[in-house]
Each structure stands twice: as structure tokens, then as C-alpha cells.
Amino acid sequence: MSTCTKESPPRALQLPDAFEDLSGVIASDLKVIVSALSQRAAERLMLSPRQRVQFQRTLWNRLADAVTETLEPFHVERH
């Protein structure tokens, strides 16, 4: 019996205004990284298609969160 976990949708990359012009480049790079790592994981760990998609989504979300959190100090609120 397998347990069903609620899958979280891919998170949007949220960059501060000072970095907004780089969002496309960074998102493209993250897609390449996620794709390469998930392909390797699928091959080495013999993941099912569903597991691979879940791995990709989790990896994307964690990388997007890491980028967002790292750049958070550069966020300047304008009043």
C-alpha cells in the first residue's frame, strides 16, 4: 500500500526588483539544472515517471526558495 502525498505546484521564482531583469535567465538555468539532476536520479535510482516528476517539482521548489531567500536582503520596499 502506498501513501498519497499532496504535491505542491512548482513555485514561481520571486526576485527583488533589482534582479527582476535576470529572472528569465535564472529560471532557464534552474530548469537545466533540475532536468539534468532529475534525469541522472531517474537513471541511477530507477525512479518511476511519477517519482521523477515529484523529484523535479521538489528540487525546483527548493532551488527557487533558496534563490528567493538568498536575495531577500536585497529587497527594497518602495513607499
Structural domain boundaries, residue 32: 28-71
Residues of the chain with pLDDT under 70: 1-7, 76-79
The domain tally of the chain equals 1
Tell me, yes or no, whether 22 lies in a domain: no
Tell me, yes or no, whether 9 lies in a domain: no
Tell me, yes or no, whether 78 lies in a domain: no
Tell me, yes or no, whether 35 lies in a domain: yes
pLDDT one-digit tens code per residue, 52-67? 999 999 999 999 999 9
Tell me, yes or no, whether 37 lies in a domain: yes
Q: Quote the CA–CA distance of 20 and 27 in Å, as a whole number.
A: 11
Q: Are 14 and 70 in contact (CB under 8 A)?
A: no
Tell me, yes or no, whether 54 lies in a domain: yes
pLDDT of residue 7: 65
